[in-house]
Every structure is written in structure tokens, then in C-alpha cells.
Structure 1
Amino acid sequence: MQLQLEDLLYQNKAIQSAVELFKGQSKNISERPLLSQTNASDITPNLCLLSPEQLHKNKLAILQQNALAENEATLSEEPQICIEMETGTGKTLVYIRTLYELYREYGYTKFIILVPSIAVKEGIINTLESFAEQLKDYYQHNIHWFEYDSKRLNQLKHFINDDQPQIMLTTVQAFTAEDRILNQTGRDDSIGGFSYLEALGQTRPIIIMDEPQEGMDTELAQKRLTTLTPLFVFRYSATHKRIINRLYRLTPYDAYAEGLVKKIEVLSVAEINDEATLKIELQEIQAQAGQDPKAKLNLWHNIKAGFTLKPSKWLKVGDNLGAITNNISYQDFTVERIYKGLRDKHWKIHFSNGVEIEQNQRQGDIGGIFRQQLYWLISSHFDKQQKLSPRGIKCLSLIFIDKVDNYIGAEPLIKHLFAEEYQRVHQERTGKQTSPAQIIAVQGYYFARTGKGEFTDNESAMLKNREIYDLILKDKQQLLSLDNPVEFIFSHSALGVGWDNPNIFNIATLNQTYSEIKKRQEIGRGLRICVNQQGQRIYDPASNDADDEVNVLTLIPNETYETFALQYQAQLSDEFGTDGKQPPLRNNHKGNKKQNKLTRHEARFNSDSFRNFWQSLARKTQYTVSFDEAEIINRGIQELGKIKIASYEAEIRLTRIKELQNIQGQGEEIGREIAQLKASYSAADIVEQISENTSLSYSVVFRIIKALDNKAQILRNPPLFIQQASKELKRIELAEMLRTLSYHETGDSFPLDPFKEAIHTYSPVEPTPNKGLYDFAICDADSMPEHNFARKADNDPKVVCLLKLPDFYKIPTPIGEYYRPDFGLVVKQSSLKNNESSELYFVIETKSTNDINDDKALTEHERTKIQCAVKHFQALGIRAEIGGDVTYQVKETPGGYQQASFHAPVKDYGDIKL
């Protein structure tokens, strides 16, 4: 097969946008001898004699021709320009043809193409080889090219010496490090005493940057680029991060609307009734100087209205996900460590049960979803193959996977699932089984193999796997041949940027990440217009009905269409704006959190009011509990017998994207259906997991399960049944525990020593200069009731001392967590008989509700801890009560003893709980 060179209008406009930059420049004609080994002045460089004013005038003329406004171009005198072309529209061939044009028009001969990776480099080599003869016929001359190799320096010397046009192709890594041969000085084989990089700089090369945002704008790379003293740098990408003299722009919106790339349809596969699948997504990290990092997770929260998947509050080491979400499924997940990897620089969170996830990665039971994705990918592949093969078009499908071990490893989940689903689809379509050898033959993969034979995600090691490396990255024509059996290509991340194939018609993302490979990058691997066996591109006439279209890319993500559309649209809008034009300006100023200093009020600290209060409050207790096993079993059978379970299913939905301006609103739904997901659980698994979730013995759980009349509910969705059963049993346990819970004093007390004269914190604070033990009170950033209470109490004339209770003040509870109240108050009162003043002591818990049974405002763990605290204070002889929205009261008993309580109205203090 020979891919055919096309003369496309939009590509010619991109080429001329670069060539006309030098309009008015005379042709470079060399009359100098070849470079001697001692005189670098004999080098024939590229020259540009145009003034900055003339170059600016040329830029303005190009912008006018391309209908681009000056404010979109970011004009600069810096000798670099940006050519922006949507992925799949042929930018590699555009810049190669640009070099041919620059030689023909101006006689420029020294060209360097910089690439970020092996995958990109091999794609360029394939293009140079495939179109060499056609380019020679079209331009009536040939440009010699070579791949830089430090072991073949004669090619580099020839590039510097020769006056004939040449292209040097190299990765950016070849000249960045100090120890690279290009940067070494004092070598015996140096040219004119220069390092090779300096000698290259004497030629004033024209540099092509392919995907410059991939590591070419680092400080070190730009330093080396300065040494090369390029005549001009041409930057080609679909997603520029740094805009300099952007003279041409073909946005995704334009390319999609004009039929320059494939149309897109989304076959989404999303879980339904997956509340108990332990889905955990590490979304965001908060890392400030002087503070321990915090994490925000996307979790299933159990609220009064049911389960909802939403972001958590900021979590720190020691936080339990079960308590945070009121979801017992997470009770074994306690944050043990939040850190950034030393090698990969990725933020990670490690839990007490050994589970560890990375930022923008999710944890959960995903085998069933992977199976559904593979089934629909293979099914779509068969459909398209049936339509495309008679027209001589090879159908290829690309699968991005979550980790290499899931395809090549001791238990390759994805590889096994693919084999099973391929057999299933083949049986459905043909009525016959296919052989294991055939299933193996249709698969290709691009992973890296280390010197020890282990597979990794590092593409630089892929060269050792030469056969598949050559097929996927170099022999594109062979891969496109109908005679080649490979139809499904598996990759992790190496094919995420810079690689594509015109006949990729289906892409499935069997990964657990939302940003490691962006959606735009994944989609870009299959946007190019397809080719037939003669290498001719096959375009769809504008009048074609959707059913007859050939160039349709089917995406199969493991999320809802709405989620996919929202994220894809956000990436497009972030880069191109909502209308495909200039994106909105973003404020990139991160700022730094201010460190606050809290100073102790010495008079209050040494006062009898505070010291007596603390002496009463600081006494420690221990608790005991007892359980009635028979009562738990009887109540367990009763409550679990009421459980009704929805089936664990996946919704498959096909949506065609009409235009990119608003893919959420412009998606046309083609159809949808529901598929049953299977969760494989034995009876022993169910008993074991419920036992682990509830701490009940196996025998107790078994007796409860055995007595149930609704065992069919378990089979509908075992994970969800386990979650609901564990939740009900835990409630029964808590009720029984609270009924029998008792506290007694230990004889120990919390000391005064931790109340330092000054405390430094990055946490939010509320000024408390009037009544506070410190001039500021540390408050939870997410708790407005705390801020409101501190502010109002500090200005209340009845308050003598206000204390935000420190973290070390904690009350043990039998649910495995300490209770930490919010505030302590010393309040003065006047006697009803003799008008003498006395003081009352209060421990305050601030919440956004006054109802202990408010499921929306309080989690079950919070309610239980408060109830435990009541018994703790009662053991100390302190009156404690829950509930009520009353005002300050003083009561006189028949014996003359006065009882008082201090309850602040909501209107004065915000919503508070005493």
C-alpha cells in the first residue's frame, strides 16, 4: 500500500502561513567552500535579511488572510511562530512540505525537527519514507533526512558541512542533558573547537517543534535552543500551551464542521445501582507550606435521601471514610498517608487497609464494566468491519487500559475478558466458535519491556519488542493491509500523544484515570480520515445519511455520556473558548495562605475562672460496653428481612455528536439498553465481608443470613446487599452499645502545658480579642457555625472566657474514634436571691441543626459520638443534654440550689448545638 499525497486547501493555507513570513527575502545562494575542520566561518548558514518591521508587516498580512485577530496571535519579535492544527488533519505532512517550500522559495537548507517521544519520531519517519517519492515528483527536488544518532556523528558533520538541503530528526532529550555528546566541549573530533550544539548553531537552522508543550518549553530546553541560534522556530500542535505569533489556526470546531476529521459517536457504558462498589476517586490535593497535605475524594455518601456520589470535605491523616460518608462500606478505609511519589511526582493517598490510589484515579470493582466495554467495542468493530471490508478499508480498534499488568501479567484481567467477549460476539455473529489462536492473532499491543523482560509503561524500552514495535509505529501500511490479522491494538499511555492511524474506528478507555491521558488526546488517535488498500483517503459526501457514513469514530468510555460530554467540552473550552475562538483568560495566581499567630491572653489563662473550668473539664474517663447476642440476632433477622435490592446493571447509550460547540446539547441519542452486571460472591464471601464490616462473629452473621426469607435479594446485587446489611447491623450494634455504655473516671487529666504562649497555624481563624483564651480561635474552614459562634460569643457580656478546645482534648468512644467538642465557655450568672454572681461551665458542639436525628446534617458516626459524650460528662457529674432551642435560663430548686443553662438563640449565634 502507498499512501497518497493530497493537495488540500486548508493544508496549503497552513504551509503558506509559514512560507510568507519571509516574503521579501532574497534566495540564499551559497558560494562558499565546504566547512574545513578548523574554520567554522566556512559554514553556510540560513540567512534572513528582513527587518523586524518587515517581519511584523508580513505577520499582519498572514493574520488578515487567515481571518485571525491580532489579540489571538500574541505577536512578538521572538523568532518563533505557532501553527495550530487539530489532531488528525495532517500537521506532520504540512510541516514537511513547508520545509520543501522554504528550500524552493528561499534556498534554506538547514532544518531540524524536534520531537518529544519515540512514538512521535517513528510517525514522522513513516511519513518521510512513505511520501519521499511523491514529494520529489511534486517539488522536483529531494531533501535528504536522517535520524540523529550519537554513534553516527559523520551524519551530523555532513549536515553542518554540506550546502544541500537536509533535515535532522531528533528527540528533545538528545541535547538537553549536560552529558549528551551534542553538549560536550573539548572533544578531539570537534568542529572548529565548538561543541556540536554550538557548531549546529552556526548554521542558523530552521527548527520544527512537534508538540512543543511536551517538554520543549522547559528552562533547560530553551537554554539549549538559544545555543542553536535558530533562524526561526515553527511550533506545530493542536494544543499549544505557550502562544507566540500564532499565524494559523484550525480548531476542532472547524475541522469537525468541515468534515476534515471523522464524526464522533459516544457509546457510553455506565454503572447503575453501584452504591456499594467502593468507588473512590482522589480528586484534589491541598498542600501548603508548614501544613500537612489534605485530600479531597469523590465518595458515595449515605444521606437521608439515599446514596449520592460527591466530593468529600478536605481529609487528613486519621480520617475514616466510613465516618465521613456515613457509608459503612468504607469503614476499613482510614487515611494513613498523603504524599507525593519521589519518582513519578504523582500525589497518592494510602489507606490503613493497604489500598493506595493516585490523584485523578479511582478505586473500585470495575471488571464488570470492562467486560461490557469490550463487548460493545468488539460488537461495533464487527459491524464496521462488515461495512468497510468490501470497500477495501481495514477496520482497527484501539483500547487504552488502566495498567500493563491487566494485559500482560500473572492474572491479565483485560486480556482474559477480551478473549471471552471476542468469542461471545463471534458466536453471536457467525454461529460458530473461533479458535484461541485466532483470538491471539487479532491482538496487537504497544507496551514497553525492560532489559529484564518485564513489561512497563515506559515507551523508551519498547524498542526491544521489535516486531510489534515496527508494526504499530513504523509499518503503518502493513497494519492497514487487510492481509494483516491485527485488528485490536492495546496501549497504556505511550500512544496517547503523537501516534495515530487513519483506520482507527473504535476507541475504548478501559482505564481508571480522568486526566493522565486527556480525552482530546485519546480521541485524537482516531480522528484522521480513513484510507483504502490503495492508500487513498475515503471522504464522506456532505449529502450522506448518518447510516451510510464511513468516517465515524466510536468512543466507548466507562462513564455516562453527560460526564464524558462535560469533561470533553471543558477541555475544548479551556483551549479554544466556547465558540472555537480565543479561550477566556485564566487567573493563574495561586497565592499563599497566610500563617496566623495566636497569642495567649495571660490574665484569662491564669484566672480562677479558666483554671477551675479546665480542672472540671480535663478529667479523663474510660468506658465499658456489653452486648446481648440473642437480641442482635433477632433484630438482625427482622431488619435484614426488609431489605430490597436493585439489580447491579450498566446502561449502554449511543449518542452521535453533531457539532462541537455544545456537545451536551447537540448530542443525538441513537439508542440505549440495560445490561446485567455480575458480581461473583459465594455464601462464605458474604458472611465474611459482613462480619468484617460489623465486627460480629461469623457464626452470628451466618445465623442471621440463614434465617432470612428474602435471600433472592442477595443475588440481585451482592455488594449492595452487603453494604445495606452491614449498615443495618451496625445500627443495631450501636443502639445496643449505647444502651449498655458506661464511663468511669481514670484519675488522670489533660494537662495545661499544651496551651503555649503563642501558636502558629495556617488554618482559618476567627478574632476573639474580648473573651478568648487566645486572641484568635482556630475554626474549621468548612464550618460557618463555628465562625459564627466564636464571633458572637466573644461579644456576649455574659461570657467570661471562650476557649476553642484543642485537638488534644478528646473523649474515647467505642466506635473506634475520639470525640472532640468544639468550644468551652465560662458564663457568669446572677443569683435570684442576693444578686451575687457565680459561673457556669459549658461544652459546645456547633452544628447546622438542633435535631440529633437530622440525617442530612449529621452522620451516624457524629450522632453516636455526641451520645457517647453525654454519658462521659454525666460520669464526671456534669449535667449534659441533647436538643432544644431555648434561651438563657436560671432555675431555683426547692432547696435553694440554682441550676442554669446557657443556650444561645439561633438569631444571635447561628445554628448551634449544645
Structure 2
Amino acid sequence: MEAMNKSQSGNQTLMELKLEQLEYQQRAIQSVISVFKGQEKNTFDNACVEGIRSNIISLSQVEILRNIKNIAIENGIREETANIQNTNNLCVEMETGTGKTLVYIKTIFELFKHYGFTKFIILVPSVAIKEGVLKTFDIFVKQLEDIYNIKPNCFEYDSKKLSKVKRFIEEQHPQIMVMTLQSFNSDDRILNQAQREDLFSNMAYIEAIARTNTIIIMDEPQEGMDTPNSIERIKSINPLFKIRYSATHKVLTNLIYRLTPFDSYKQGFVKKIEVLTVSEKNDEASMKIELSKIELGKGEPKAVLKAWHLTSSGFKFKDTKKLEKKAALQNITNNIIYKDYVIEQIARPIRGKGFVKFKNGAVIYEGEQAKDYSTIFNEQLYWLIDTHFRKKEKLKEKGIKCLSLTFIDRVDNYINPDGIIRTAFIEQYKNVYKNIFGKEPTLQEIEQSQGYYFAKTGKGDYTDNEHSMRNNKELYDLILKSKEKLLSIDNPVEFIFSHSALGVGWDNPNVFNIATLNQS
């Protein structure tokens, strides 16, 4: 993990991530560099043809394979595990949270330093990872520039800015293009179009890129980069080498470095994750509800729910009568456990499932079962907040801020003032705070301790749509930019709420506690 350095910005102390020379990261970098041992350094004279600056390899396949075998042996990887083959694939296996992105960025600097390679594509599977890569480069580029005395031109591929691609092809200066597979995975993509007015020297841009013999850094290649179509599309770029970085390789060829989860934890490179499991033992004492059906007819739709009824012979889990808006489930079932369940909305099914929403924020969909989410969420949040405060006190002595992250699957459960998660958080924050500190927190303290990151539709409404979130560049910009601000002890935000579809990108070194509060 990188050390943190304080700097002043206005009235707030910001935390800057500082590069450290970590031995395991250096070994990962050196393992890639050693693959090209004996390589003649690229220069303008030997690596520039017809206005295109390329990566040129002078080593034979035999020499490269010999280097790969030697590296695997040095790193304690058996030959059968390394799966050494005569291909241009290299695999680096690193556990999540060990600085994989920074490792391959530094590897690019080293490859230029040692061999003069200038063309690199970082291929990522999603917008989230792409934004994370760009942010990591932005954070560390000044420090890397001081070390290597060079600043590569790192940019995000944009089909509307082909001048940057042209520069990538022509320039002698190191170039790093960050892109997703979707940028060139079909014939109609701009890079593949050969009938355009703005071609590069009368050839499609993908053909010109292929002549650069770029080195492709594949980040999480198991996420869609090994399909038959993807393999062919990547092949069309004619990479000099493909360096695959992942903790969970599905295609493992020429493994030259491995940092396993056990090694990572044993050596203290990653934090231990604690998991709280909440279960319901007495089913009849729970607020289990099922939406049996929604009946449509004249007037407003009606709902039939299945719930625990208190009868003269005991509890029975059975259907209610047809219910309308404002129906109080406690009265219908004679069961006080449902005292907060008053129907606020019955939504008729149009394209998806119909649902019933209660005034306490709980929502149940057709064919699904609503459990006692209120109790479960309260249990989880009590544990999260209690664990947070206890860790906070220990970390404070070291000048480290403690952050806790909560993933949810329904934004309304938090955004609404009476949402089930928001109300549970406030209640449990008060309980834990009083137990630990012996006094009540102010509402202002509770509010200031929270931060949230959710996607919005074009109309400005919050959304649970995963596709919208995963392709929402602005949202990831906000998350990634906020990471540095959140590290500041002066920033009161300690509890972060985000949608469960936004898990990628939150590799913040100060997140010590994670809870998932999903209702589906």
C-alpha cells in the first residue's frame, strides 16, 4: 500500500498518495522487463517506418522462451503451472488490492527506459476500470516523471478525437491509449472503418495501429477478452505482446509472476475481511411477506399478500384478502410484527414485475419474498457502525482515517427520508454512539458522517439500472475524485453508501469495513 502524505488545499488537509518501492511490486515489474533481456533498444532510426513509430523486437522466439522459463523458475513457478508456450502472451497474477494498476503503469515506464518501447494500449473491460486507470495515472504521474524523467502521453480513446489516435501512431514520445474492447469489437466501429474521409494515410486506423506493434496491457482479461470475437479483434491490432494482469486468470499462458491471496494476506499486503451473517431462526416471528398476485380490473389494482396471521390456533402463513392502498397489514393479519407495513403503492405489471411498496420504504415484487429486512439491516448496520468506531480509535493514533462502505441494491431505501436503510442507519448510529461514548450524537454529526454515490437518469432521477451505472462516466469521475478527499481526517464523511453495481472503483486504502444491504 502506498504511504500517505499531507498537503494543504484551502482550509482542508488533503491526503496525497505517495509512491513506495514495495519489493513484491518491483519483482512483478522486473519479471516483465526480464522477458526482453538482450533486446536492442528501439530508437528513431530502427523503429520508425513510413511515418509510423513502432515497437520493434530483435530477440528470437527461442531467446524469449528461454527468458520466460528462467523468470518462472526464479519466481518459484513450476513449468507446468506456468504453462509456457510459444505465444506472445504473458500472465501476471496479482491479488486484488495489491496495486496491480500501479504495477503495470510503472512497467510501461520501465519498458521505455530499458528498451525504448513507445506504444502501449491498456485494454479494460469496463468504464469503471478505465476511469480507475486514468485516475491512478493522474495521481502518480508527477512522481513517476521525477523518477524516469519522462511523461508519457496517456489518454482515453474517444472516437470523436481521432487526432489523439493519429498522434499515438506517429509520435516517438511514449504513448498510452486506454480503451475498452467495445471501441473496436465490431466492423462498424470507427477504428475499423476503411471508407472514411479522415483515414490515416489511406488506411483504417486499426490497420495503422497494427503497424505500431503495440504492447497491450490486458486488465482483468477474463472479463470478456477471451471470447472468439474478442480474440480475433485483439489479433487485428497485431500486438507485440499481450501482458495479462488478473487475480483470477481463466486463460493462463506464460505465467511469469504470481502473488496469491494467501501470500498477500500472510505478508500483510491486503486487509482481512470480516463477514457478519444474519439469519432468521423463528420464521413465524419474522416479517416475512410474499406478493402472491396483483389483480387488475376496474379502478386501482389490488394485491394479495401472503403473511403470518395470528389465529385462534396459532400463527399461519397464508394469503390475505385483496388489499388496496392504505391497507394496514397489522390489522389484516392481527399480527403486531407488521405494525409499520401500510400499503403506499400497488404498481401494476407492464413490462416487468408488479410490486407493492409500503410506507416504511419496503418494497416487494411479484414472485419474491420480503423478509424482515428492517431487522436484518439494523443488525448489519449496528455491527458496521460499532466495528467502525472501534477501528477508528486505533487507526486515529496512526493518523489514518477509517472509512466504512455500504453497498445497497435499491437507491430508494437510502435516498428517501423514511427509507428503510436511512432510518436504520440513524437509529443504530445513535445506539452505538451512546454505548461507546456515553452521550447522544447530534443529528448534524450523523448527517455529516454520511456520503453517497448513485447514478441519475437524464431526467435527474436516481436509478437502480445497472447498465446505466456501469456506463456512467460522470459518476465514476465523482467516486474516483472523491477518494483523495475522503482520505482527509478533516473531511467528516466516514460512512459511504453506493449501489452494489458500483463495486469496482472503490479500492480505497482506507475502507476497513464493508456491508452489503441488498433486498433482492
Picking from 235, 254, 264, the partner of 1:255 is 264
SS at match of 1:506: strand
Match of 1:83 in 2: 92
Please list, as runs of the form range in 1=range in 2, the aligned pairs for 1:528-677 lying within 5 A after superposition. Answer: none
Query: Counterparts of 1:60 and 1:280 in 2: how far apart (Å)?
Result: 60
Picking from 418, 422, 425, the partner of 1:415 is 422
Match of 2:333 in 1: none
What is the CA deviation profile of residues 615-662 of structure 1, one whole-angstrom value per residue up to 9, with x for unaligned ones? Answer: xxxxxxxxxxxxxxxxxxxxxxxxxxxxxxxxxxxxxxxxxxxxxxxx
The answer on whether the counterparts of 1:118 and 1:459 sit within 8 Å (CA) in structure 2 is: no
Q: How far 1:279 sits from its partner (Å)?
A: 7.1
Match of 1:166 in 2: 175
Paired residue type of 1:257:
K
Match of 1:198 in 2: 207
1:458 aligns with 2:463: no
1:442 aligns with 2:453: no
Picking from 350, 366, 390, the partner of 1:355 is 366
- The unaligned stretches of length 5 or more in structure 1 are 36-40, 282-319, 323-327, 334-342, 345-352, 514-914
What is the CA deviation profile of residues 535-558 of structure 1, one whole-angstrom value per residue up to 9, with x for unaligned ones? Answer: xxxxxxxxxxxxxxxxxxxxxxxx
Match of 2:483 in 1: 476
SS at match of 1:167: strand
Assess, with a 3 A threshold, how the Cα gap between structure 1 residues 265 and 462 changes in structure 2: closer, same or farther.
closer
The answer on whether the counterparts of 1:110 and 1:206 sit within 8 Å (CA) in structure 2 is: yes
Match of 1:24 in 2: 38
Please list, as runs of the form range in 1=range in 2, the aligned pairs for 1:265-276 lying within 5 A after superposition. Answer: 265-274=274-283
1:62 aligns with 2:89: no
1:371 aligns with 2:382: no
Q: How far 1:446 sits from its partner (Å)?
A: 2.6
Assess, with a 3 A threshold, how the Cα gap between structure 1 residues 363 and 16 changes in structure 2: closer, same or farther.
farther
The answer on whether the counterparts of 1:448 and 1:465 sit within 8 Å (CA) in structure 2 is: no
The answer on whether the counterparts of 1:447 and 1:458 sit within 8 Å (CA) in structure 2 is: no
Match of 2:184 in 1: 175
RMSD: 3.2
What is the CA deviation profile of residues 880-909 of structure 1, one whole-angstrom value per residue up to 9, with x for unaligned ones? Answer: xxxxxxxxxxxxxxxxxxxxxxxxxxxxxx
SS at match of 1:260: coil
Paired residue type of 2:226:
D
Match of 1:105 in 2: 114
The answer on whether the counterparts of 1:384 and 1:395 sit within 8 Å (CA) in structure 2 is: yes
Please list, as runs of the form range in 1=range in 2, the aligned pairs for 1:728-877 lying within 5 A after superposition. Answer: none
Query: Counterparts of 2:46 and 2:72 in 1: how far apart (Å)?
Result: 37
Query: Counterparts of 2:288 and 2:258 in 1: how far apart (Å)?
Result: 41
Query: Counterparts of 2:319 and 2:250 in 1: how far apart (Å)?
Result: 42
Picking from 120, 144, 149, the partner of 2:153 is 144
Assess, with a 3 A threshold, how the Cα gap between structure 1 residues 460 and 48 changes in structure 2: closer, same or farther.
farther
Assess, with a 3 A threshold, how the Cα gap between structure 1 residues 75 and 146 changes in structure 2: closer, same or farther.
same
Instruction: Answer with 501-510 or 179-188: which moved more.
Output: 179-188
1:11 aligns with 2:25: yes
Query: Counterparts of 1:416 and 1:465 in 2: how far apart (Å)?
Result: 30
SS at match of 2:17: coil
Assess, with a 3 A threshold, how the Cα gap between structure 1 residues 433 and 72 changes in structure 2: closer, same or farther.
same
Picking from 496, 508, 514, the partner of 1:501 is 508
SS at match of 1:103: helix
Query: Counterparts of 1:161 and 1:262 in 2: how far apart (Å)?
Result: 44
The answer on whether the counterparts of 1:471 and 1:478 sit within 8 Å (CA) in structure 2 is: no
Q: How far 1:430 sits from its partner (Å)?
A: 3.7
Q: How far 1:329 sits from its partner (Å)?
A: 6.0
Paired residue type of 2:19:
L
The answer on whether the counterparts of 2:55 and 2:119 sit within 8 Å (CA) in structure 1 is: yes
The answer on whether the counterparts of 2:91 and 2:245 sit within 8 Å (CA) in structure 1 is: yes
Query: Counterparts of 2:17 and 2:225 in 1: how far apart (Å)?
Result: 30
Match of 2:323 in 1: none
SS at match of 1:2: strand
What is the CA deviation profile of residues 773-801 of structure 1, one whole-angstrom value per residue up to 9, with x for unaligned ones? Answer: xxxxxxxxxxxxxxxxxxxxxxxxxxxxx
Please list, as runs of the form range in 1=range in 2, the aligned pairs for 1:899-914 lying within 5 A after superposition. Answer: none
The answer on whether the counterparts of 1:204 and 1:230 sit within 8 Å (CA) in structure 2 is: yes
Please list, as runs of the form range in 1=range in 2, the aligned pairs for 1:303-452 lying within 5 A after superposition. Answer: 355-357=366-368, 363-408=370-415, 412-452=419-459
Query: Counterparts of 1:450 and 1:220 in 2: how far apart (Å)?
Result: 32
The answer on whether the counterparts of 1:397 and 1:505 sit within 8 Å (CA) in structure 2 is: yes
What is the CA deviation profile of residues 44-102 of structure 1, one whole-angstrom value per residue up to 9, with x for unaligned ones? Answer: 21122322222221111011001111121222222111111011111111101111111
Assess, with a 3 A threshold, how the Cα gap between structure 1 residues 60 and 177 changes in structure 2: closer, same or farther.
same
What is the CA deviation profile of residues 687-708 of structure 1, one whole-angstrom value per residue up to 9, with x for unaligned ones? Answer: xxxxxxxxxxxxxxxxxxxxxx
SS at match of 1:3: strand
The answer on whether the counterparts of 2:124 and 2:130 sit within 8 Å (CA) in structure 1 is: yes
What is the CA deviation profile of residues 101-141 of structure 1, one whole-angstrom value per residue up to 9, with x for unaligned ones? Answer: 11111110000111122222222222211111221222232
The answer on whether the counterparts of 1:83 and 1:235 sit within 8 Å (CA) in structure 2 is: yes
Match of 1:213 in 2: 222
The answer on whether the counterparts of 1:457 and 1:492 sit within 8 Å (CA) in structure 2 is: no
SS at match of 1:272: coil
Q: How far 1:414 sits from its partner (Å)?
A: 1.1
The answer on whether the counterparts of 2:392 and 2:401 sit within 8 Å (CA) in structure 1 is: yes
Assess, with a 3 A threshold, how the Cα gap between structure 1 residues 512 and 214 changes in structure 2: closer, same or farther.
farther
1:223 aligns with 2:232: yes
Give the TM-score taking structure 1 as reference length. 0.46
Match of 1:156 in 2: 165
Match of 1:42 in 2: 51
SS at match of 1:249: strand
SS at match of 1:448: coil
Q: How far 1:24 sits from its partner (Å)?
A: 1.9
Paired residue type of 1:64:
I
Paired residue type of 1:123:
G
Give the TM-score taking structure 2 as reference length. 0.78
Query: Counterparts of 1:182 and 1:488 in 2: how far apart (Å)?
Result: 43
The answer on whether the counterparts of 1:479 and 1:486 sit within 8 Å (CA) in structure 2 is: yes
Q: How far 1:477 sits from its partner (Å)?
A: 1.7
Assess, with a 3 A threshold, how the Cα gap between structure 1 residues 32 and 368 changes in structure 2: closer, same or farther.
same
What is the CA deviation profile of residues 713-769 of structure 1, one whole-angstrom value per residue up to 9, with x for unaligned ones? Answer: xxxxxxxxxxxxxxxxxxxxxxxxxxxxxxxxxxxxxxxxxxxxxxxxxxxxxxxxx
Query: Counterparts of 1:49 and 1:192 in 2: how far apart (Å)?
Result: 27
SS at match of 1:509: strand
Assess, with a 3 A threshold, how the Cα gap between structure 1 residues 46 and 269 changes in structure 2: closer, same or farther.
same
What is the CA deviation profile of residues 293-331 of structure 1, one whole-angstrom value per residue up to 9, with x for unaligned ones? Answer: xxxxxxxxxxxxxxxxxxxxxxxxxxx9x9xxxxx9666
Assess, with a 3 A threshold, how the Cα gap between structure 1 residues 370 and 211 changes in structure 2: closer, same or farther.
same
Query: Counterparts of 1:410 and 1:265 in 2: how far apart (Å)?
Result: 30
The answer on whether the counterparts of 2:392 and 2:402 sit within 8 Å (CA) in structure 1 is: yes
Query: Counterparts of 1:248 and 1:191 in 2: how far apart (Å)?
Result: 38
Q: How far 1:431 sits from its partner (Å)?
A: 4.2
Q: How far 1:421 sits from its partner (Å)?
A: 1.6
- The unaligned stretches of length 5 or more in structure 2 are 1-14, 291-305, 309-314, 321-350, 353-363
Percent identity of equivalent pairs:
52
Assess, with a 3 A threshold, how the Cα gap between structure 1 residues 32 and 264 changes in structure 2: closer, same or farther.
closer
Assess, with a 3 A threshold, how the Cα gap between structure 1 residues 220 and 106 changes in structure 2: closer, same or farther.
same
